[in-house]
Structure 1
Amino acid sequence: MLTALGLDEMDESAYRTLVSVGAADAPDLARRLALSEPDTGRALRRLERHGLAAQSSARPGRWVAAPPAVALGALLAQQRHELEKAELAAALLAEEYRAAAVEPAAHDLVEVVTGAPAVAQRFLQLQLGAADEVCALVTGNPVVVSGTENEAEEQAAGRGVRYRVVVERAVLDLPDGTAESTAALHRGEQVRVVDRVPTKLVVADRSLAMVPLTSHTSEPAALVVHESGLLELLSELFESVWRTALPLRLGGSGVAEERPHAPDGTDLEVLSLLLAGLTDESVAKQLGLGLRTVQRRVKRLMELAGATTRLQLGWHCHERGWVARD
């Protein structure tokens, strides 16, 4: 928790232990931390440099913890000051960049990023730099950045960035497809499903976009598109897919009516996956239900809707607001 203040785990453990006992000598603290005395001594000297511990003047060799409210408050104030300076520097650089890019050359409107590490890093920057909204089209074959997506989304969503995501049906058939979609819904993201998306795409604040660049080589590459007619086209591509997609309801994300003659949360999950195009078998697998359970729930939904076919069920569900887009 204190790594943001420049402490590593060993330093933090040493300080916490010293705070809990008030004062201790190095051998006693080493035993409490299950560390060697040299490691403990180095940790204490680092705490001393940060103003978090000091050697007792009355008892040489004994270390005393500095009051957390004072010592940590000073470190926080210093960190805030450094952050303010960094923010000012970033604002000045942004202003210089805007001044130099008033009339950008055509070749400056698109970046070509090559190599898996560079693509993954640029993808993270795009999301973590978003201020208002991130829109994404997700295909069933995520490459390069799949391992970092959740971390970036969690950080951005934690800052209040809105996410609108359209996944293609094949994503839900992946081993972790439904689990990741459920996690996204729990983060407050809006998720919709279509049979197929035209390309993987991420648009941040309608000012920057990233699309994969297909090539005949094995090295991944992507295009980063700045504000231009091409960016507007990519933004409209997302909006057109979003308008035709159906909302995904998983893990209690849908609002079930608390009445005996209305679908419950699991009913809405089953319905959402069926409307996304999954088979009964795939729905059962993704939700951890038995095939017969899924079929019984579908039969119950048909009875609730007064439908005799699944086609009629879909229409009635839309009319009753069970699958409304808004």
Structure 2
Amino acid sequence: MNALFQQAESGENSPALKLLIAAPRGFCAGVDRAIEIVEKALERYGAPVFVRHEIVHNKYVVEDLKAKGAIFVEELDEVPDDAPVVFSAHGVPKSVPAEAERRKLIYVDATCPLVSKVHRQAERQIEKNRHIIFVGHADHPEVIGTMGQVEPGQMTLVETVEDVARLEFAESDDLSFLTQTTLSVDDTREILEALQARFPQIVGPKAEDICYATSNRQAAVKKIAPESDLVLVIGAPNSSNSLRLVEVAERLGTKAYLIQRADEIDPEWLNGVETIGLTAGASAPEKLVREVIDRFSQWRDVKEETVKAAEEKMVFKLPRQLLE
């Protein structure tokens, strides 16, 4: 054990550590709903219940549901004919429920209602014969699900302003745009400005697609990062909204790390640090936030301060089939 770690554990000669805890943080309404759907499905149908893809991007949540009887798979062909299956909160291409119906599977769709809203918008734009330019991250499940709502060739993915410059549409083409719900608010604004400058005729949704939870968590990080020596984001490395929180802090000039659990904290990070900003991605439970705070309390006297950026009261209903 190095001297710094010994000092951190004993708290000797260390000033109190101020924790600026972002609010809102952690679970959003869509994640709450998705987890409850799996739990209700287990109650209704009994174990095992299969889940196509991680229900939300958080290892702790997935392992907890596994312990209750959920089995996670990547494709429907891994699901037995007589077993119920839940589709993840990120949404799925239309071909997935179509295949489930063909096989007469019992399935429950846990797609976040805000993602489903984007799916409906995509359908409406195609009905109006508009080509869709979709702003998102390639290979993310939400992007795969949204692009799978329309026929191949009806939607073009862009990830950066540079991608916009390479588009080959004409000013006479009927175009629309939609976005992934978990993007960086600032990066997306730049991309949309580039799209609208290049294609003045492009049509967008009445309200932005980036979800309230993503926007609120980024706004909270913008409040804590300038006052912090270090920002920690609790979330999974495959969680888009968590990665964006790290980027927001770094863009403000604050060192930031993504961690999944308290045991990933390096005591050396505390060297010379008096204030740490702490937040959690939308799929990370509050229990992990307390775990991190408790770990800091082992090393230093901790003073907690909550920094609020918004109030969240959103609640989404469960699917009717689990309420009947």
Query: Which has a greater percent of helix?
Result: 1
Structure number with higher relative contact order (C-alpha < 8 Å, ≥ 6 residues apart): 2
| TM-score higher than 0.5 | no
- The structure with the largest alpha-carbon Rg is 1
TM-score (normalised: structure 2): 0.20
